[in-house]
A and B are shown apart, each in its own frame.
Chain A
Amino acid sequence: MMGRFYNPVLVKELKLRFRSFKSFSGLMFYLAVICVFVVGFLLLTTGFTGKGFFRPEMSFMMFTILTILQMALVLFITPSLTAGAISSEREKQTLNILLTTTQSSTQIIVGKLLSSVAFLVLMLIAGLPLYSLVFLFGGVSPLQLASIVFFYLVTVVAIGSVGVMFSTITKKTIVAMIATYGSIIFLGGITAFFFFLTTAFHQMGNAAGAGSSFMTYFWAAINPGALMLTLVSSDMGDALAMLSGVELPVWLTYLIVYIAITVLCLTIAIKKLRANMKSNR
């Protein structure tokens, strides 16, 4: 049974990843950023006295900022882990040998993606103790934390798939990395810009009696930052529903769109891995 799910590329990638100093320095950087934020926030709110109050509302605020910060870090790190998946093999001249083995294109692509996701999961788990500090002060439920971690995973897998796809269709890692960061800028930044733009249009239209605006809802629903805000506070979701007139939960649309991105990107990557062969088996 184990043999059935054994993926040689995944095992090799994990081995190589955990042997490289880059991975440990990345993990250290990630934890340092979160640590500086958490300690800094606590010190600021207690006035550097080590005594004083820390109200649940403050804890909630810390949790919200921490969630957005962690999402930003995940979005920042994922391309660097996945955009070299196939192109670096091509650059190192190891890809041809790999392609003459009996591993299927699906096995190779999934192995590459899972190894990157596994490392990001390790990062998230390593950051959990710091994250959990908020539980000391209350204001946040464990279920909320679980749903946030789940959506981190959904995002990581989707962005990872985008990285692997660009890595497969472009010859150079640097090009794949730029394209993947470009996609993240689109999902994290451009969608926010479009959201504000459509909101403004919608409000102008509303004065003239226009109905609901699906596009306003859509741009917010595919933005990772907006999703996190609606997850930490249901008020945010309600406000968006009021603004756009669409009642569909943001997390559901986000889940559908990001799963669609994952499936599409992985399919393209699998098809294009053996691009010089007519049959992609």
Chain B
Amino acid sequence: MIEIRDLTKRYGSFTALDHLNLSLNEGVVFGFVGANGAGKSTTFSILATLLSPTSGDALINGKSVVKEPKEVRKQIGYMPDFFGVYDQLKVEEYLDFYGASYSIPLAERQILIPQLLELVNLTNKRYEYVDLLSRGMKQRLCLARALIHDPKVLILDEPASGLDPRARVEMRDILRNLKTMGKTILISSHILPELAEMCDEIGVIDNGKLIAHGNVAAIQAQLQGEKRIVIKVTDGLADVRAFLEEDPAISSIDIIDNRLEIAFNYRGTDVEQVALLKRAILADLPIYAVREEEKDLEDVFMAITKGADSQ
């Protein structure tokens, strides 16, 4: 459905996108994550036919964004990270204007508009002026606008930015709904956990390069490198610690005194971990529970984008 080939965008000596390659199947919800300025919006602008790449190309449903921009526009619904609305235009008229902009006949628009408003939960705002809506409502209206010509692909640049928690949840519910409708959705965000919940695949972009791509679990494993394991003991913390310090695959051992817990980072494989635990039991250490700590996606994101921030 979407094929990005060697996409490069340079502004003078600055490279915003560096030979980006990405392939997405139909119906996939793809989360594009990266720090501000990593190249997410540039990629989306190129896919939305607003920007020409310096080199490379992107195909949407077989149509090239460089050679057939008008055909691509029929296939995509685009929601920019920052957008405005027209003052003195009512919600219904706003959608009608964009419907007409996609050459949808009037009779069809009149059927479509109530359906779209229902989808984004704005039916009761149909006759209100657009500039009087809250930010969350405007965001939902913009999503309805992006759907008016029934595009196969939705490109949503930071759809949840600046929204309060309730509006965020509402937006997420709508996106889930769209996913069940079989749309291919590209969402960008600088908040990884936000995407992890609703995306089938995630791509991590840093300094214009795609540094990871896959499903959420795979990305996590790829990016984390080491696990955080917590052991609970009945007593003898010092002995357990001394035992752990002997293993070269273990680092950052922390004793959580008041809970009689020891947490440590482990670089070994699952099989090596089994051997470690067996050795611990044979050494008669008073261990009664072992668990792997879920690493916060936020931490993962911070770790992978650290390089970009420091530059």
Interface size class of B (residues with CB under 8 A): 20 to 34
A97-B80, A100-B49 known; A16 vs B89 contact (CB < 8 Å)? yes
- Nearest CB of A to B59, in Å: 16
A277 touches B52 (CB 8 A): yes
User: Is A8 on the interface with B (CB-CB < 8 A)?
Assistant: yes
A94 at the interface (CB under 8 A from B): yes
A25 CB to closest chain B CB (Å) equals 15
By the criterion CB–CB under 8 Å, are A93 and B84 in contact?
yes
Does A103 interact with chain B (Cβ within 8 Å)?
Answer: yes
**What's the Cα separation between A102 and B80 when bound, in Å?**
17
- Cα separation A19 to B145 with both chains bound (whole Å): 22
CB-CB contacts of A13-42 with B at 8 A, as 1s and 0s?
A: 001100110000000000000000000000
The CA of A158 and the CA of B49, in the complex, are separated in Å by: 31
B83: which A residues are within 8 A, CB to CB? 93-94, 96-97
**Chain A residues, Cβ within 8 Å of B105:** 3
Q: Which residues 18-65 in B have Cβ within 8 Å of A in the complex?
A: 45, 48-52
CA distance A278 to B52 in the complex (A): 6
Q: Of B67, B88, B142, which is within 8 A of A19 by CB?
A: B88
Partner of A278, one of B50, B66, B76, B80: B66
- Distance (Å) between the CB of B50 and the closest chain A CB? 6
Q: Kindly specify which of B96-104, B242-250, B287-295 makes contact with the partner chain.
A: B96-104
* A102 and B66 contacting across the interface, CB-CB below 8 Å: no
Residues of B within 8 A of A100 (CB): 48-50, 73, 76, 78
User: How many Å from the CB of B45 to the closest CB on chain A?
Assistant: 8
Q: Mark A94-135, 1 if CB is under 8 A from B, else 0.
A: 101111111110000000000000000000000000000000
Cα distance, A281 to B74, chains bound together (Å): 13
Chain B nearest CB, measured from A275 CB (Å): 10
Closest Cβ–Cβ distance, residue B20 to chain A (whole Å)? 18
Residue of B nearest to A278 (CB): B52
Q: Contacts of B100 on A, CB cut-off 8 Å?
A: 6, 8, 11
What 0/1 pattern do residues 139 to 162 of A give for CB contact below 8 A with B?
A: 000000000000000000000000
Looking at the assembled complex, report how far the CB atom of A157 sits from the nearest CB atom of chain B, in whole angstroms. 24
A6 CB to closest chain B CB, in angstroms? 7
The residue in chain A whose Cβ has the minimal distance to the Cβ of B98 is A101
Please state if A12 and B70 are interface contacts (CB–CB under 8 Å): no
Which of B49, B76, B85, B145 has the most chain A CB atoms closer than 10 A to its own CB? B49
Interface residue SS majority, chain B? loop
Chain A residue numbers with a CB within 8 Å of B86 are 12, 16, 92, 94
Contacts of B76 in A (CB 8 A): 100
- Cβ B50 vs Cβ A99 within 8 A: yes
> In the complex, A11→B96 CA distance in Å?
11
Q: Which of B78, B84, B103, B142 contacts A102 (CB 8 A)?
A: B103
Min CB distance A20 to B, Å, is: 6
Chain B residues positioned under 8 Å from A12 (CB to CB): 86, 89, 93, 97
CB distance from B305 to the nearest CB of A (A): 26
Contact between B69 and A277, CB atoms less than 8 A apart:
yes
CB-CB < 8 A to A96: which residues of B? 48, 50, 78, 80, 83
Task: Render A259-281 as a binary contact track against B, CB cut-off 8 A, 1 for contact.
Answer: 00000000000000010111101
Chain A count of residues within 8 A CB distance of the other chain = 28
Report B23 CB to chain A, min CB distance, Å: 23
**For A19, what are the chain B residues with a Cβ–Cβ distance below 8 Å?**
88
A6, A16, A97, A281: which contacts B69 (Cβ < 8 A)? Answer: A281
B69 touches A279 (CB 8 A): yes
Q: Does B14 reach chain A (CB closer than 8 Å)?
A: no
> Closest approach, in angstroms, between the C-beta of A14 and any C-beta of chain B?
12
What's the nearest-Cβ distance from chain A to residue B71, in Å? 9
**Contact of B70 with A102 in the complex, beta carbons under 8 Å:** yes
Smallest CB gap from A111: residue in B: B101
Task: Check A102 against B102 for contact (C-beta < 8 Å).
Answer: yes
Contact yes or no, B49 A102, CB < 8 A: no
Q: Contact check, A101 vs B80: say whether CB atoms are below 8 A apart.
A: no
Q: Tell me which residues across on chain A come within 8 A of B45, comparing CB atoms.
A: 276
Nearest A-chain residue to B53, judged by Cβ = A278
Report whether A101 and B67 are in contact in the complex, using a CB–CB cutoff of 8 Å. no
Our pick among A8, A16, A281 for the contact of B70 (Cβ within 8 Å) is: A281
B91 → A minimal CB distance (Å): 14
Near A by CB (< 8 A), chain B positions 252-268 give none
Residues from chain A with a CB closer than 8 A to the CB of B87 are 16
- Contact flag A98-B101 (CB < 8 Å), given A16-B89, A92-B84, A93-B84: yes
A102 to B68, CA, bound (A): 12
Task: List 11 additional A-B contacts (Cβ < 8 Å) besides A93-B84, A102-B73.
Answer: A12-B93, A16-B87, A20-B88, A92-B86, A94-B86, A100-B48, A101-B101, A103-B101, A104-B70, A276-B45, A277-B51
Give the interface of B toward A (CB within 8 A).
Answer: 45, 48-52, 66-67, 69-70, 73-74, 76, 78, 80, 82-89, 93, 97-98, 100-103, 105, 142, 145, 149
Instruction: Show 27 A/B contacts (Cβ-Cβ < 8 Å), sorted by A.
Output: A8-B97, A8-B100, A8-B101, A11-B100, A16-B87, A16-B89, A92-B84, A92-B85, A93-B82, A94-B85, A94-B86, A96-B48, A97-B80, A97-B145, A98-B101, A100-B76, A100-B78, A101-B73, A101-B98, A102-B73, A102-B102, A102-B103, A274-B50, A276-B50, A276-B51, A278-B52, A279-B67
